């Protein structure tokens, strides 16, 4: 009975509920229909807006009648231009390389150069310039200004601040270059399919931006709630986010031009593994080659963008290397570890450190001569950066290259550190070739003991000398001398200890990681890298030979003989080059200890290479 009553009550409640539902159903249905219609309208609007995003400048001009080129926002560069919609204030970034205006400007520039040559009486040169310009213009027009995209660092809906890199593009017949915003912008829309390894043609609209003076990060409640896409789409998205897919996509986008971005990454990962092998198994400069090798591995991970402007390596590079901070801090540590006593005891050996810098300038000339090889183009700044490898000083090489030719940094840093590790292999044959057995047996007078006060005054003296003679080298020499003063003064042992150990170790880790970020496939896999490696080796050889030969010249002019082997220590590479000289000396006379004598040219080589770096920065920095 009780169950019966309960069943009736349940049936009643259900029917009542159904009745209420039926009563409410009509307005709810209407509301649902309205919402559905609104959603469909919104989707249609979005679709329309998407399809309405103009692909070409001509579409943009048809869509926006009052469109005008914004000359104030345009950089004096011929590859990209800004076009502004005066009604909305939106601006459009358009790829313009290859259009009539840019080609006319190119021809006009070439005509000006040809005219200069004609005035100088160089008719053949003028004709060469004119012919070359004509062929470039024809080729560029035929390729429709083809620009290969190497990096995309912006996305729809992002707020970008001024100074931010958004693209790296290699236009046909031009060098690869970054596209950097000179104003803060919000990204409203961007070209469909704008990905790494995609291409641009003359007149392509790259993106729509809204210049911004202020950003407010506040959001409406609930406005960020979005649901996941459908199962199929989600799986597709996941597949597209894998490294395998991205390597395949980039390789096959336009194989002859984009394989470097796809397969090239795998090759560079292999190069990174070789660097790790050399560091761990062979013990070649492990302190640097290990972080550089691992940094190279990280930089070549597809899609992660670790070496991009938002990635860890990119940020470390910007903070530490682009600013020149890391090489200077390393120099401080080197100064804190260096004893300038041997040089102070026998000052004339410092000249050997000067002679060895001939390797830098010899390699500079060699790098310029490499321009005869098709596919290799080095300007004077590139050549200066390559030449500095001959200084056998990693931080100096990085400092100069980051200022003169940042795109060559990876190859130059790897060459500099690799060859420094190979000093015991590279130098002895050259030293033997340049000296006789009798010269190798020359014994040198024992060095005097240098008083502490001299060692303390020395760093101050050199800093003042640098300030008066070569301020461009002041960041490097100044920090070297600060570290040395901390070591010698004896009142800041804690600071000296930190500079020698903790600080230099920390900076070395970051320096290696940041340099590794420049070992990306598109920057490293080129004929130029081969040229850099060859010229780097030549620079070391020339520097060694120059040091030894100069010691022989000094012996001709002086009564007090110098063992020419110590001239080879004039290439910095402290203290490895001095050890090599000592070892070779001992091979011919087991009682002839040259280590302390070789330390003189060795430490003067550090100063000499910093001075050479300052000269190169001073000569080429303003070009």
Partner 1 sequence: MNLGSLIFDGLKAMVLGMLWVFCFLSIMIVCMKVMSKALAPFSNFLEPVAPAPKKKKASGAKAALSPEDRVRALAAIEAVKLYRAGK
Residues that bind partner 1 (CB under 8 A): 125, 128, 343-344, 347-348, 350-351, 353-354, 357-358, 360-362, 364-365, 368-369, 371-372, 379-380, 383-384, 443, 451-454, 456-458, 461-462, 465, 469-470, 490, 591, 604, 607-608, 611-612, 615-616, 619-620
197 CB contacts (<8 Å, ≥6 apart)? 148, 149, 249, 250, 253, 254, 258, 261, 262
Using the minimum distance from each CB to partner 1, give the nearer residue, 37 or 619.
619
Using the minimum distance from each CB to partner 1, give the nearer residue, 371 or 498.
371
Question: Minimum Å distance from CB 134 to partner 1?
Answer: 17
Using the minimum distance from each CB to partner 1, give the nearer residue, 317 or 358.
358
**CA distances (Å), 597 to each of 347, 429, 430, 565, 570, in order?**
11, 21, 19, 10, 11
Using the minimum distance from each CB to partner 1, give the nearer residue, 153 or 385.
385
Residue 133 corresponds to which tokens in the numbers above? 């310009």
Using the minimum distance from each CB to partner 1, give the nearer residue, 306 or 616.
616
Using the minimum distance from each CB to partner 1, give the nearer residue, 214 or 449.
449
Residue 435 corresponds to which tokens in the numbers above? 């000296």
411 CB contacts (<8 Å, ≥6 apart)? 523, 524, 528, 529, 532, 533
Using the minimum distance from each CB to partner 1, give the nearer residue, 420 or 477.
477
Count of CB atoms within 10 A of residue 193's CB? 8
Question: Minimum Å distance from CB 368 to partner 1?
Answer: 4
Torsion of CA 36, 38, 39, 41, to 10 degrees: 120
Using the minimum distance from each CB to partner 1, give the nearer residue, 206 or 617.
617
DSSP 12-24: HHHHHHHHHHHHH
What is the C-alpha separation between 536 and 568, in angstroms, rounded? 16
Strand, coil or helix: 88: coil
Using the minimum distance from each CB to partner 1, give the nearer residue, 480 or 616.
616
Using the minimum distance from each CB to partner 1, give the nearer residue, 40 or 120.
120
What is the C-alpha separation between 357 and 350, in angstroms, rounded? 12
Question: Minimum Å distance from CB 410 to partner 1?
Answer: 23
Question: Minimum Å distance from CB 390 to partner 1?
Answer: 11
Using the minimum distance from each CB to partner 1, give the nearer residue, 185 or 612.
612
Q: What is the DSSP letter of 151?
A: E
Question: Minimum Å distance from CB 267 to partner 1?
Answer: 31
Strand partners, 186: 159, 210
Question: Minimum Å distance from CB 612 to partner 1?
Answer: 5
Using the minimum distance from each CB to partner 1, give the nearer residue, 132 or 501.
132
Question: Minimum Å distance from CB 351 to partner 1?
Answer: 6
Question: Minimum Å distance from CB 310 to partner 1?
Answer: 37
Strand, coil or helix: 588: helix
Sign of the dihedral through C-alpha 207, 213, 215, 216 = negative
Residue 394 Cα to chain centre, angstroms? 15
Question: Minimum Å distance from CB 339 to partner 1?
Answer: 15
Sign of the dihedral through C-alpha 425, 429, 434, 440 = positive
Instruction: Please answer whether residues 359 and 546 qualify as being in contact, where contact means their C-beta atoms are separated by less than 8 angstroms.
Output: yes
Instruction: Please answer whether residues 366 and 375 qualify as being in contact, where contact means their C-beta atoms are separated by less than 8 angstroms.
Output: no
Question: Minimum Å distance from CB 337 to partner 1?
Answer: 20
Question: Minimum Å distance from CB 169 to partner 1?
Answer: 24
69 phi/psi in degrees, rounded to 5: -75, 130
Question: Minimum Å distance from CB 576 to partner 1?
Answer: 21
What is the C-alpha separation between 100 and 87, in angstroms, rounded? 27
**CA distances (Å), 342 to each of 45, 244, 446, 597, in order?**
79, 57, 10, 6
**What burial class does residue 158 get, using C-beta atoms within 10 Å of its C-beta: 0-12 exposed, 13-18 middle, 19+ buried?**
middle
Instruction: Please answer whether residues 372 and 563 qualify as being in contact, where contact means their C-beta atoms are separated by less than 8 angstroms.
Output: no
**CA distances (Å), 516 to each of 294, 307, 397, in order?**
7, 9, 15
Question: Minimum Å distance from CB 325 to partner 1?
Answer: 25
Of 301, 284, 290, nearest in space to 419 by CA: 284
Using the minimum distance from each CB to partner 1, give the nearer residue, 443 or 583.
443
Using the minimum distance from each CB to partner 1, give the nearer residue, 129 or 275.
129
Question: Minimum Å distance from CB 548 to partner 1?
Answer: 17
What is the C-alpha separation between 558 and 560, in angstroms, rounded? 6
Of 425, 401, 382, 397, nearest in space to 577 by CA: 425
């Amino acid at each position: 009975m009780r169950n019966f009553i309960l069943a009736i009550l349940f049936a009643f409640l259900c029917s009542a509920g159904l009745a209420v539902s039926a009563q409410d159903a009509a307005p709810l249905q209407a509301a649902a229909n309205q919402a559905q219609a609104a959603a469909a309208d919104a989707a249609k609007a979005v679709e329309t807006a998407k399809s309405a995003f103009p692909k070409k400048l001509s579409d943009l001009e048809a869509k926006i009648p009052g469109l005008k080129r914004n000359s104030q926002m345009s950089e004096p560069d011929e590859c990209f231009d800004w076009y502004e919609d005066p009604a909305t204030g939106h601006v459009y970034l358009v790829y313009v390389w290859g259009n009539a205006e840019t080609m006319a400007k190119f021809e006009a520039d070439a005509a000006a150069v040809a005219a200069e040559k004609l005035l100088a009486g160089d008719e053949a040169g003028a004709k060469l310039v004119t012919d070359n310009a004509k062929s470039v213009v024809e080729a560029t027009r035929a390729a429709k200004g083809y620009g290969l995209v190497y990096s995309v660092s912006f996305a729809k809906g992002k707020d970008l601040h001024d100074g931010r890199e958004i693209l790296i593009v290699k236009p046909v017949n031009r060098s690869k270059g970054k596209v950097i915003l000179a104003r803060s912008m919000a990204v409203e829309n961007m070209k469909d399919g704008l990905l790494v390894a995609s291409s641009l043609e003359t007149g392509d609209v790259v993106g729509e931006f809204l210049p911004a003076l202020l950003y407010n990060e506040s959001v409406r409640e609930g406005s960020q709630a979005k649901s996941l896409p459908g199962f199929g789409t989600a799986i597709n998205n996941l597949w597209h986010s894998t490294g395998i897919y991205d390597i395949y996509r980039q390789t096959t986008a336009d194989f002859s031009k984009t394989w470097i971005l796809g397969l090239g990454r795998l090759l560079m990962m292999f190069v990174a593994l070789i660097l790790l092998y050399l560091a761990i198994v062979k013990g070649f400069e492990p302190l640097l080659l290990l972080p550089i090798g691992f940094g190279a591995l990280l930089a070549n991970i597809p899609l992660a963008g670790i070496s991009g402007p938002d990635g860890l390596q990119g940020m470390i590079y910007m903070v530490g290397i682009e600013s020149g901070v890391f090489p200077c801090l390393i120099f401080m540590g080197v100064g804190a570890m260096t004893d300038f006593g041997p040089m102070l005891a026998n000052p004339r050996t410092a000249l050997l450190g000067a002679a060895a810098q001939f390797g830098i300038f010899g390699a500079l000339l060699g790098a310029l001569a490499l321009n005869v090889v098709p596919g290799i183009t080095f300007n004077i700044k590139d050549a200066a950066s390559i030449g500095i490898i001959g200084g056998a000083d990693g931080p100096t090489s990085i400092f100069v290259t980051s200022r003169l030719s940042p795109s060559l940094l990876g190859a130059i840093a790897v060459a500099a550190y690799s060859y420094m590790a190979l000093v015991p292999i590279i130098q002895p044959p050259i030293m033997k070739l340049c000296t006789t057995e009798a010269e190798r047996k020359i014994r040198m007078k024992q060095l005097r003991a240098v008083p502490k006060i001299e060692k303390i005054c020395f760093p101050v003296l050199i800093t003042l000398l640098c300030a008066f003679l070569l301020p461009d080298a002041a960041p490097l020499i100044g920090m070297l001398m600060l570290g040395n003063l901390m070591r010698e003064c004896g009142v800041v042992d804690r600071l000296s200890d930190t500079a020698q150990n903790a600080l230099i170790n920390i900076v070395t880790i970051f320096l290696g990681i940041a340099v590794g970020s420049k070992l990306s496939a598109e920057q490293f896999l080129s004929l130029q890298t081969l040229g850099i490696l060859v010229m780097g080796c030549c620079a070391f050889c020339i520097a060694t030979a120059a040091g030894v030969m100069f010691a022989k010249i000094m012996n001709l002019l002086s009564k007090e003989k110098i063992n020419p082997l110590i001239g080879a220590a004039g290439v910095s590479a402290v203290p490895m080059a001095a050890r090599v000289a000592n070892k070779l000396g001992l091979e011919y006379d087991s009682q002839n200890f040259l280590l302390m004598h070789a330390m003189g040219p060795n430490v003067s080589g550090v100063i000499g290479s910093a001075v050479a770096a300052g000269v190169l920065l001073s000569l080429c920095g303003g070009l």
